[in-house]
A and B are shown apart, each in its own frame.
Chain A
């Protein structure tokens, strides 16, 4: 049976191109620092938030080969915890975000523990079902505010003296979190631990026979992914100053999959590009009559049928082809 792996062929680090890479990273960094001067800051923050969320999701799908259909539970769950921590407990922003991440870790540990008991398609269905259960929980639990959500969350003062109410301060706070998250993912992927995750993705049976406790690795990857998704969700709650049911729906889980698929599964930059595209598309469509779901659905079908490697994946493959000539 010929079976194409979900991942791309391994593209090695460009040897001898280190200065070029460093330059690209510096340009990217400068662009992110300057972005709020040229674009609406809230819009850029939203993109950064979803880019981090999609990257967290990609850590699981792209590098471990696990398709989670329930990542909204971590994203939205963390948003609720952060909003609650600020509003009811009076936490400062840094502690509130930390509380959100801890919340996501707990939810991730529970869902992950159950879901890793089955593989492949079943794994996807279990994560979807459990996150839907979490959705119903949020709908009924008193502290989430049901249909209204938690409104009017104050951004507060970072470390007691940086006023996040100022848009620019908030932007650099969000940028800092984004870079921290992406750096963490980059470190995980390029560590020995990340190599084991990739071996599980490529051949799980082989990994087991090599004596690796595959389930423990899968669960760790799942919880890490949930934690970073939670980091993104907590940040979103502070940016928009509310947490609602929208963030825990299955549609949200679907959106993050689309972002990753469009950008390129298993590439570091892919989810970031995908998130930028999807969020921009939603902003454009929000003002028109056209239904977003139809476009989203059609894009999904198109991506799967025609360019499964995603935008960044296709570019990387083109570079590899060009080098071989």
Chain B
């Protein structure tokens, strides 16, 4: 077997693939956080819970309505997005004028509430969700075996990231969004319905989390705790990347996912803290984050 620095190439590539997949999830989730933070100036602590909700909606659709993976990939994010829209309209919008820490506390409570509810019904153990038949099996690339579903996850999440970036940076709607980030009062005066824009943005961020959840369902098991496990890592990603730029959030997500994968090969004991260590180092060297502008 071929070796690099005493590590079998197969193991290295395998873990890098796992890292790339985790990185895809980190990227999509931190992207959602950055989009919401950009306009609403709130940190959505419930993002992990919404990711879990997306996976569970997919699971429940299959179990009770017989709706398979592909339709669920569209329906689940829509349901989660709608849920987000209702939340924003009825509760979150009351908190905008207060200190931002209150919305953080509110969404933290929301996360506990959603997770607790699913735990009550499904316990902490995971429910299996099968890979769709059209993506079962894998491809032998010669140097490694690539499961088709994993390849799809990488492609799909990358496409969503690029699509979101395009929507925000290159379209008319995106320009309204960016303008409202700079000066909501002025944009409102120009006749743009800013409150509606806020609702849409929050719902869109939530839908992104839901989409990531259903994407992750066949890889990890669908479990009530999957959200809280990932959200803290995503927070560290956001601290490293800074939420100033969409591109920064995406790039940092992939970067840290790969770093985590690499650590699993070199020094497995540290694999679940490596993201936090990187965060600490970045705070020491560049307190504003890799892509951050503000001090």
Convert A283-304 into 0s and 1s, putting 1 for each residue whose CB lies closer than 8 angstroms to a CB of B.
0000000011111111111011
Query: Closest chain B residue to A299 by CB distance?
Result: B109
Beyond A118-B239, A124-B104, A305-B106, whether A254 also contacts B283 by CB under 8 A is: no
Give chain A interface residues in 249-293, CB to chain B under 8 Å: 250, 254, 257, 261, 291-293
Query: Closest chain B residue to A302 by CB distance?
Result: B109
* A132 near B276: Cβ-Cβ < 8 Å: yes
Beyond A4-B97, A125-B43, whether A114 also contacts B280 by CB under 8 A is: yes
* A140 near B269: Cβ-Cβ < 8 Å: yes
Query: Closest chain B residue to A294 by CB distance?
Result: B116
* B109 near A129: Cβ-Cβ < 8 Å: no
Bound CA–CA A205/B194 (angstroms)? 30
* A293 near B115: Cβ-Cβ < 8 Å: yes
Tell me, yes or no, whether B144 is within 8 Å of chain A by CB: no
Bound CA–CA A305/B103 (angstroms)? 9
B149 CB, nearest partner CB in chain A, Å: 29
Tell me, yes or no, whether B235 is within 8 Å of chain A by CB: yes
Tell me, yes or no, whether B175 is within 8 Å of chain A by CB: no
What residues of chain B lie closer than 8 Å to A305, measured between beta carbons?
Answer: 91, 94-95, 106
Beyond A125-B239, A126-B283, A300-B106, whether A4 also contacts B99 by CB under 8 A is: yes
Bound CA–CA A244/B117 (angstroms)? 25
Count of inter-chain pairs, beta carbons less than 8 A: 127
What residues of chain B lie closer than 8 Å to A117, measured between beta carbons?
Answer: 283-284, 287
Bound CA–CA A250/B97 (angstroms)? 28
Query: Closest chain B residue to A4 by CB distance?
Result: B98
* B284 near A114: Cβ-Cβ < 8 Å: yes
* A3 near B232: Cβ-Cβ < 8 Å: no
B238 CB, nearest partner CB in chain A, Å: 7
What residues of chain A lie closer than 8 Å to B100, measured between beta carbons?
Answer: 120-121
* A2 near B283: Cβ-Cβ < 8 Å: no
Bound CA–CA A141/B138 (angstroms)? 38
Beyond A3-B98, A121-B101, A250-B232, whether A296 also contacts B112 by CB under 8 A is: yes
What residues of chain B lie closer than 8 Å to A129, measured between beta carbons?
Answer: 232-233, 235-236, 239, 275-276, 279
* B101 near A124: Cβ-Cβ < 8 Å: yes
Bound CA–CA A299/B116 (angstroms)? 13
Query: Closest chain A residue to B42 by CB distance?
Result: A121
What residues of chain A lie closer than 8 Å to B113, measured between beta carbons?
Answer: 293-294, 297-298, 300-301
Bound CA–CA A118/B235 (angstroms)? 14
Give chain A interface residues in 96-122, CB to chain B under 8 Å: 114, 117-118, 120-122
Q: Which of A128, A130, A257, A297 contacts B116 (CB 8 A)?
A: A297
* A126 near B239: Cβ-Cβ < 8 Å: yes
Tell me, yes or no, whether A136 is within 8 Å of chain B by CB: yes
B127 CB, nearest partner CB in chain A, Å: 18
B270 CB, nearest partner CB in chain A, Å: 9
B282 CB, nearest partner CB in chain A, Å: 10
B125 CB, nearest partner CB in chain A, Å: 15
> Lowest 5 A-B CB distances belong to which pairs?
A300-B109, A293-B116, A297-B113, A297-B112, A294-B116
Question: Measuring CB to CB, which residues of chain B are less than 8 angstroms from any residue of chain A?
Answer: 43, 91, 94-95, 97-106, 108-117, 119-120, 228, 232-233, 235-236, 238-239, 269, 272-273, 275-277, 279-280, 283-284, 287
